[in-house]
Structure 1
Amino acid sequence: RESDIRAAEVMDSIEAEDLATEQAINIDIDSEDELYVSQSRYDIEPEWKRWMKEPTVGRDTDILKYWQSKQYQYPLIGSIAKDYLAIPATSADSERVFSVGGDIITKKRNRLSPSTLRYLLCLRNWGVLSQGDDEDSGDDADNEG
């Protein structure tokens, strides 16, 4: 499979980096400061490398329990997994989006197409647009007669 080929490529690159690390450790060290820097740089294998060396889990594995058991062994990757695998417990995000939609659609801008509205909502939600970037140049209250 393509994923097996990719995993083999990653493992080959890890082994090449390990060999380079071993060669770099064999340098002459003149002072205690250099020794400390050398040890701190090469002593701890990166978290992702350790995780990639583990056997893959089966399809029947409860992935949430797996990451719960690995959260102290791989704190960074475990945190990413929690964010990725999490299901929002409330509808607060959707309520917030509808509220923002009410800010975008005004008396002057009531004919926006659904695709344009979706575009503006996504851009604002992702932080690309600030609140003033997608609004008219003038305020509706100022222009009322």
Structure 2
Amino acid sequence: MAVDTSLIIGNRSYKKSRKVTELQKYYDSIAQDFIETESKEDPPLFKDPLTRWLLVSRHLYPTLFKIALDFLSIPSTSYECERALSGGRGTVTFDRNSLSRATIEALQLQKNWLRRQIIRS
């Protein structure tokens, strides 16, 4: 592993040369894509950001890819989480509050599978 000493000693040629960051490369490519598709309908990759990151941008921008996956994995609403917690309230009552985590998980999964007709009772 090599250390870039120009940052430490203040090499003038390093300061004059502008390094292009991964983020700047991404901005430049997006700007070019918008210019090329301005008059046309949006291509399929613009309609689904996750698909674009998985197919095109994953190898070109590895750091931004990780950030994008973190960002795109955030649910837009907390509806599913709240519904799961409300469903658990019926399972873990005051009389059954000593159930183990594994038992509660198994009961919740079974209730969900029965509701979606994945399994039959």
Q: Note whether the superposition's TM-score is higher than 0.5.
A: no
Using the size of structure 2 for normalisation, the TM-score is: 0.35
